[in-house]
């Protein structure tokens, strides 16, 4: 059925950044001459340069598939952006909302839609799961998931949910001390820390299925909230509730002797005995290469700058985001926000840092010295503090966040509007919400079990852990 001649039309220019999905027809400015139900022949879109303003995202997605000669079995769901903003209504409503004249030529970008990440599986744990990390890219089928728990133990899992190895209990005089953070350093090493103030390097043997403590690092008076690792330089950063950040090496000999005043009494006594007799302690104890002070409240998160490991960023409950020059051991920039900062990750393609806040939103900050605006973008949708963040390894626009509201939210940084509060920059809403397996009813009954950690891996998917004692994997169907 042809479109009525009186129907409003607008000139469009279809583009994409995906070279594999370029439309080969010329000219690039196309006309939709028929209504959605009669879209059949791509050749019919070449005559003029106008599309009906009644078209929606779904109809434009169908049009693009027609132009790409894709049949029903190979069609790709596309998101549509007009002048850089997602189309969620008809073109006509978009024009009205944004005050755009229908005589303008619209730049219409099509991009693969983010497919809803479905619950694939979850692994039962003995206690709350405080942190997760993923080791992949080694060999297909050899991906490993690392989990840290409030029971003080590390576990390594395969993607089938089998526990391949469990760490030995730390030597804490018989006390169980909760772990708060853990990261893979390499295929054979991992780093973890928690409430006993100690950063530990572990050796992992995939064949023997063992996790053994290789090195203990001391420089904090209170619990360690987060660690960051840089494998090429063997460097480790730790963020502590004592308001400081420490820099260590995972190679024991590179670190100085551990200060006696930081050592637990059992370790100090053991070190003294080593000097007097045959050593009975096999795990080296070392101190820090450097200490970074400047925050006035607990430091919640720390990361290395992705393209320069001599620079680090830290987020704190004192509302500040700091930039550190590691060689000179100095703070070179401080950005003060309006809320306590609970988590941090880098978005290198956009030169931004994402910070999760106690105020239930995510603030995107430009850390460059030339930046004049504190908040570039604010992402709203969580109902409690945002405690973990990670980026989509296959997209420069997607972000995952874990919250104490019991959900993981998926964000697309292009899904934004300009109607935010003063000083917040653009605002955005999540595109998908992931609930804990078996707790989907939390959507209508309030918050579910707290989620403490999330990682987004290209091979495994979105991995999260939380108060429900589960490691959960979500992945788009077919990915």
Preceding peptide of 279 cis, ω within 30°: no
Identify the CATH number of the domain in which residue 48 sits.
3.10.20.90
What was the pLDDT predicted at 389?
A: 98
The answer on pLDDT for 132 being more than 70 is yes
What was the pLDDT predicted at 164?
A: 96
State how beta strands 426-429 and 377-380 pair.
Answer: parallel
Q: Average pLDDT, stretch 128-137?
A: 95
Q: Do 139 and 69 belong to one domain?
A: no
Q: Average pLDDT, stretch 239-268?
A: 90
Q: Do 184 and 240 belong to one domain?
A: yes
What was the pLDDT predicted at 100?
A: 87
Q: Is 1 part of any domain?
A: no
Rg (Cα) of the chain, in Å, rounded? 26
Q: Is 365 part of any domain?
A: yes
Q: Do 343 and 370 belong to one domain?
A: yes
Q: Do 315 and 365 belong to one domain?
A: yes
Q: Is 4 part of any domain?
A: no
The domain tally of the chain equals 2
Confidence band of 145 (pLDDT split at 50, 70, 90): very high
Q: Is 85 part of any domain?
A: yes
Q: Do 70 and 219 belong to one domain?
A: no
Give residue-wise pLDDT tens across range 360-394: 999 999 998 776 677 889 999 999 999 999 999 98
Q: Do 233 and 132 belong to one domain?
A: yes
Nearest to 9 by CA among 60, 55, 51: 51
Q: Do 71 and 165 belong to one domain?
A: no
State pTM to two decimals: 0.85
Chain-centroid distance, C-alpha 182: 15
Identify the CATH number of the domain in which residue 466 sits.
2.130.10.10
Q: Do 103 and 129 belong to one domain?
A: no
Average pLDDT, the chain: 85
Q: Do 69 and 171 belong to one domain?
A: no
CB environment 254-270: b (16+ within 10 A), e (fewer):
ebeebeeebbbeebeeb
What was the pLDDT predicted at 125?
A: 92
Across the beta sheet with 290-292, the strand order is 224-230, 235-240, 245-249, 290-292
Q: Do 107 and 129 belong to one domain?
A: no
The answer on pLDDT for 440 being more than 90 is no
Q: Is 237 part of any domain?
A: yes
Nearest to 87 by CA among 130, 42, 53, 44: 53
- In terms of residue numbers, what domain contains 347? 117-476
Q: From the CB of residue 287, how many other CB atoms can be counted at a distance below 10 Å?
A: 18
What was the pLDDT predicted at 169?
A: 77
Q: Do 451 and 310 belong to one domain?
A: yes
- The conformation of residue 1, written as its DSSP 8-state character, comes to -
The answer on pLDDT for 36 being more than 50 is no
Domain final residue, candidates 112, 130, 163: 112
Q: Is 183 part of any domain?
A: yes
Domain final residue, candidates 112, 141, 170: 112
The answer on pLDDT for 21 being more than 70 is yes
Domain final residue, candidates 72, 93, 112: 112
Q: Do 128 and 103 belong to one domain?
A: no
Chain-centroid distance, C-alpha 3: 45
Q: Is 384 part of any domain?
A: yes
269-283, 290-304, 430-444, 446-460: which has the highest mean pLDDT?
Answer: 290-304
Number of helices (H), then strands (E), belonging to the chain: the values are 4, 37
Q: Is 3 part of any domain?
A: no
């Amino acid at each position: 059925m042809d479109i009525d001649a009186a129907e409003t039309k607008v000139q469009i220019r279809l583009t994409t950044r995906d070279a594999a999905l370029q439309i080969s027809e010329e000219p690039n400015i196309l006309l939709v001459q028929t209504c959605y139900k009669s879209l059949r022949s791509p050749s019919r879109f070449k005559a003029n340069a106008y599309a009906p303003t009644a078209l929606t995202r779904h109809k434009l997605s169908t049009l693009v598939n027609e132009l790409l000669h894709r049949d029903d079995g190979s069609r790709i769901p596309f998101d549509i952006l007009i002048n850089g903003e997602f189309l969620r209504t008809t073109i006509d409503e978009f024009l009205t909302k944004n005050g755009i004249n229908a005589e303008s030529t619209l730049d219409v970008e099509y991009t693969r839609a983010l497919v809803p990440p479905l619950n694939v599986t979850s692994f039962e744990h003995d206690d709350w799961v405080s942190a997760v990390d993923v080791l992949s890219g080694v060999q297909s089928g050899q991906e490993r998931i690392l989990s840290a728990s409030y029971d003080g133990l590390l576990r390594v899992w395969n993607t089938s949910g089998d526990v391949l190895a469990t760490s030995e209990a730390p030597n804490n005089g018989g006390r169980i001390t909760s772990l708060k953070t853990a990261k893979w350093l390499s295929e054979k090493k991992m780093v973890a820390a928690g409430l006993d103030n100690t950063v530990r390097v572990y050796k992992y043997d995939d064949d023997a299925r063992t996790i053994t403590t290789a090195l203990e690092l001391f420089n904090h008076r209170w619990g360690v909230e987060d660690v960051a690792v840089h494998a090429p330089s063997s460097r480790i950063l730790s963020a502590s509730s004592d308001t400081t950040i420490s820099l260590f090496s995972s190679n024991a000999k590179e670190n100085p002797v551990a200060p006696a005043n930081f050592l637990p009494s059992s370790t100090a006594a053991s070190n003294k005995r080593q000097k007097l007799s045959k050593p009975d302690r096999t795990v080296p104890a070392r101190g820090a290469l450097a200490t970074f002070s400047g925050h006035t409240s607990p430091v919640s998160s720390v990361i290395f700058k992705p393209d320069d490991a001599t620079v680090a960023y830290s987020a704190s409950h004192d509302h500040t985001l700091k930039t550190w020059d590691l060689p000179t051991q100095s703070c070179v920039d401080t950005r003060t926000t309006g809320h306590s900062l609970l988590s941090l990750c880098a978005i290198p393609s956009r030169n931004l840092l994402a910070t999760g806040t106690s105020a239930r939103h995510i603030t995107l900050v430009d850390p460059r010295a030339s930046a004049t605006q504190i908040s570039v973008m604010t992402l709203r949708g969580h109902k409690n503090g945002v405690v973990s963040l990670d980026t989509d390894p296959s997209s420069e626009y997607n972000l995952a966040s874990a919250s104490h509201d019991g959900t993981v939210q998926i964000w697309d940084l292009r899904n934004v509007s300009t109607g935010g509060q003063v000083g917040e920059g653009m605002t955005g809403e999540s595109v998908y919400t992931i609930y804990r397996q078996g707790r989907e009813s939390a959507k209508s009954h309030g918050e579910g079990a707290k989620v403490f950690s999330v990682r987004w891996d290209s091979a495994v998917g979105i991995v999260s852990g939380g108060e429900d004692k589960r490691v959960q994997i979500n992945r788009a169907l077919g990915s």
